[in-house]
A = this chain, B = another copy of it.
Amino acid sequence: MKKQHVTIHDIARELNISASTVSRALHNHPRISRATREAVQQLALKYNYQPNVMASSLRKGRSKTVGVIVPRINRNFFANVIGGMEEVLTSAGYHMIICQTLEKVNHEMFALRTLVNARVDAIIMSISMETKDHEHLRILVDKGIRMFFFDRICEEIRAGSVAIDDRLGAYQSVRHLLDQGYRNIVHVAGAGHINIYRARKQGYLEALREAGIPDRDSWIIEESLIPEGGKAAFEIGMKLAPRPDAYFCAGDYAALGILQAARNRGLKVPDDLGITGFANEPFTEFTEPSMTTVDQRAGEMGVMVADMFLKDVDQSDGANPVERIMLKPELIIRNSSMLNK
């Protein structure tokens, strides 16, 4: 249990020079003589000197840390985004502090305060379901805190963002169902105040209109996107006329609920009923029949938003043109929607 860490002062003392010289030598300052520089660097190596991040952060006012806020860490999508960010940020010398909101706006505010306290160099977040008002976000941006959004972005705030083109993903899904010959397509939708669910609804409507199929409000069923929500939507759908022959769900878990409900009713998928989900959750590959869905390219999204941040700090000439990237989603066609064999 020796002294825990070597400091520049330890090195300075041993070489009979000042700490400032050591610091400069370690940073290859041009004014430091070659002899001194090499002596310092050798000794640093010998003692395995590691700069105290807190001290240098305090002095420089930058913490080399990025705060990440997600609704839930253990949701497949978010875990993948975080995985992507981690790879980029770590290799650029940044840490990540991670907070989850559990979809609660007060958790979100708490997390924001925590991260601002920790003096993170940026906050990268996906807003919670409950977040309808964005005043707490605006305050931070106005204060000059670097902020980036991914997936669930807040359009009203001027901030960089990466998201997938949900509208396009939905459009492609519905278009695919139409191509397969399905005609009476119900949309199981998510909460309307979240941009991604609004966009998915738009894509659904667009595909129908393009095909000349009238859209009706009663065919858009807003439900919680969990298996139970899917089952509820299925029951509602059973009462519609004409009888729906396909369900486009804004989430995979809801699609799974539809699948289970259909099975219970003796309906065959995909013959009697086509089903598509959204998110490419791992289980969709393994359901019977396997589920058609839309991949959100989570890992890439994490990489891109992290890169966006790095680019921004690098230039940091103040004039940051806010970039909003939209990734193209990938329609993954599986058996739950393959009418033609």
Contact = CB atoms under 8 A, between A and B. Distances in A.
Interface string A31-62: 00000000000000000001111110110000
A187 interface: no
A226 interface: no
Nearest to A72: B83
A281 B271 CA distance: 29
Nearest to A67: B95
Contacts of A75: 79
Interface residues of A, number: 51
A147 to B, nearest CB: 14
A53 to B, nearest CB: 5
A4 B143 contact: yes
Interface stretch (A111-119, A209-217, A323-331): A111-119
A99 B85 CA distance: 11
Contacts of A316: none
A80 interface: yes
A90 interface: yes
A158 to B, nearest CB: 13
A73 B96 CA distance: 12
Nearest to A77: B74
A320 interface: no
A63 interface: yes
A44 to B, nearest CB: 13
Nearest to A289: B288
Pairs of residues from A and B, 10 with the lowest C-beta to C-beta distance, nearest first: A288-B288, A283-B283, A74-B79, A79-B79, A74-B83, A54-B58, A74-B80, A73-B83, A95-B97, A283-B286
Given A50-B116, A76-B282, 18 more contacts: A1-B143, A50-B117, A51-B117, A52-B117, A53-B117, A55-B58, A72-B83, A73-B79, A73-B86, A74-B82, A74-B299, A76-B79, A86-B98, A86-B100, A95-B97, A95-B114, A282-B283, A283-B283
